[in-house]
C-alpha cells in the first residue's frame, strides 16, 4: 500500500508478484492534477513503472503477473535496455524447446526488427501518430527523444507485402533472396539514426558482454553478425558454453536471494564491457568477389 497507493485485492498477489490488471484498475481511477500531493504522485509513478515492466518491457509468458520492484528509487540507475534484451533472449531460448507453448518478453522489439530488415514482411507505413524528436514541456524542460520504435505507431497497409498464415510466412523466409534483407538498418549516415546518435555510445552495439536481469544472465555476441555494422564477417569462434548452468537459474521460490551477490562475477565482467568492443575491416574495403557473399 505505501509504495503504490492501493492494497491489492485477495487473489491479486501470488508470492511477490502482482496482477497487471489490478495495477491498470488502480491507475484508471487516479486523477493527477497540479494540486495532487507529492507522495500520491510518487505512488502513481511507481504503479506506472510496474505496469511498464510487467506489461511491456519484461512480461512473463502468462502476460498477467509482474514482479514487484524491490527499490523503486533505484530504477533510473538500472541499465533497462540491456535488462529488456536479457529477458527477451532468455524467453526466445526457452520458447525454442519442444515443451514450451508460450513466450514472453518485449516481442514488439522482434516485430520491429523483422519489419525493419525483412522487405517481404514490412507493411506500408503512414505518418507516425507521435512526434519523432524531442518534446519541450513546462519551464523549458525537454523530454528524452522519442524512441526509434515509435515511428511504427501509425497506420499500416499490406498491399505490397504478405499478411497471411505462419506456414506461408515460413515459406517466404525459406525462399528469401539476399537482396530482400536489409543488413545495415542502423546506418550512421541515416538522418533518422543520426538524430539519436547524441543519446548513446554507438560502441554499445558492438560490445561482447554479458547481459544481466536479476537471475538471468545472457551473452551478447555481436561478432557473429558483423555485417549489420558494415564490417566484414569472419568465421566466429564457438559460443562460450561454460556457463550453460545459468539457464537453470530462475527467480522462482527465491524471493530472498541477493542477485548482486549471486552474480558478482558476471557483474564485474559487465562493468568492464567497454574493454570488449569488436572491430573489423569495413565491407567497403574488401574486393567485389566477397561483397556478394
Indicate the domain borders of the chain: 1-77, 202-291
Digit-coded pLDDT (tens) for 119-176: 888 888 888 787 766 666 666 666 666 777 888 888 888 776 666 678 888 888 999 9
Q: Is 228 exposed, middle or buried (0-12, 13-18, 19+ CB in 10 A)?
A: middle
Task: Inform me whether the pLDDT recorded for 103 exceeds 70.
Answer: yes
81 vs 249: CA distance, rounded Å: 21
Digit-coded pLDDT (tens) for 1-16: 567 777 777 777 776 6
The DSSP annotation for 74-113 comes to: GGGGS-HHHHHHHHHHHHHHHHTSTT-----S-HHHHHHH
pLDDT (0 to 100) of residue 249: 86
- Quickly state the pLDDT bin for 25 (edges 50, 70, 90): confident
- Quickly state the pLDDT bin for 232 (edges 50, 70, 90): confident
pLDDT (0 to 100) of residue 85: 93
Long-range contacts, 48-53 (Cβ 8 Å, 24+): 49/75, 50/4, 50/18, 50/23, 51/20, 51/23, 51/24, 51/27
In the chain, % of residues over pLDDT 90 = 14
In the chain, % of residues over pLDDT 70 = 78
Q: What's this model's pTM, rounded to 2 decimal places?
A: 0.81
Q: Is 133 exposed, middle or buried (0-12, 13-18, 19+ CB in 10 A)?
A: exposed
Neighbours of 186 (CB within 10 A): 17
Contacts of 215 (CB under 8 A, 6+ apart): 249, 250, 251, 254, 257, 259, 262
pLDDT (0 to 100) of residue 78: 81
Three-state SS for 240-263 is: CCCCHHHHHCCCCCCCCCCHHHHC
Place of cell 506506472: 48
Is the separation of the CB atoms in 252 and 61 below 8 Å? no
Kindly compute the dihedral angle of the four CA atoms of residues 69, 92, 252, 243, in this order, to the nearest 10 degrees. -100
Highest mean pLDDT among 14-23, 38-47, 58-67, 92-101: 92-101
Is the separation of the CB atoms in 61 and 74 below 8 Å? no
Task: Inform me whether the pLDDT recorded for 261 exceeds 90.
Answer: yes
- If one compares 166 and 220, the residue with the highest pLDDT of the two is 220
Amino acid at each position: 500500500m505505501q509504495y503504490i497507493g492501493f492494497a491489492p485485492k485477495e487473489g491479486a498477489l501470488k508470492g511477490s508478484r502482482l496482477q497487471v490488471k489490478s495495477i491498470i484498475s488502480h491507475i484508471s481511477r487516479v486523477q493527477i492534477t497540479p494540486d495532487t500531493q507529492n507522495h500520491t504522485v510518487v505512488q502513481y509513478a511507481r504503479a506506472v513503472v510496474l505496469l511498464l515492466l510487467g506489461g511491456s518491457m519484461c512480461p512473463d509468458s502468462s502476460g498477467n503477473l509482474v514482479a514487484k520492484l524491490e527499490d523503486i528509487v533505484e530504477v533510473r540507475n538500472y541499465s533497462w535496455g540491456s535488462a529488456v534484451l536479457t529477458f527477451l533472449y532468455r524467453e526466445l531460448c526457452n520458447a525454442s524447446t519442444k515443451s514450451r507453448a508460450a513466450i514472453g518478453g518485449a516481442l514488439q522489439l522482434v516485430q520491429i526488427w523483422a519489419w525493419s530488415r525483412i522487405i517481404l514482411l514490412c507493411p506500408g507505413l503512414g505518418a507516425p501518430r507521435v512526434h519523432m524528436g524531442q518534446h519541450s514541456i513546462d519551464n523549458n524542460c525537454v523530454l528524452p527523444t522519442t524512441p526509434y520504435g515509435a515511428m511504427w505507431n501509425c497506420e499500416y497497409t499490406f498491399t505490397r507485402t504478405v499478411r497471411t498464415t505462419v506456414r506461408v510466412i515460413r515459406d517466404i523466409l525459406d525462399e528469401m533472396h539476399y537482396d530482400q534483407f536489409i543488413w545495415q538498418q542502423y546506418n550512421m549516415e541515416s538522418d533518422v539514426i543520426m538524430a539519436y546518435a547524441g543519446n548513446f555510445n554507438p560502441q554499445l552495439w558492438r560490445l561482447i558482454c554479458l547481459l544481466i536481469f536479476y537471475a538471468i544472465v545472457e551473452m551478447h555476441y555481436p561478432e557473429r553478425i558483423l555485417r549489420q555494422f558494415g564490417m566484414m564477417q569472419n568465421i566466429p569462434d564457438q559460443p562460450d558454453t561454460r556457463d550453460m548452468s545459468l539457464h537453470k537459474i530462475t527467480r522462482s521460490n527465491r524471493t530472498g536471494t541477493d542477485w548482486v551477490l549471486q552474480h558478482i562475477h558476471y557483474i564485474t565482467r559487465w562493468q568492464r564491457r567497454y574493454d570488449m568492443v569488436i572491430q573489423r575491416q569495413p565491407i567497403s574495403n574488401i574486393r567485389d568477389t566477397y561483397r556478394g557473399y
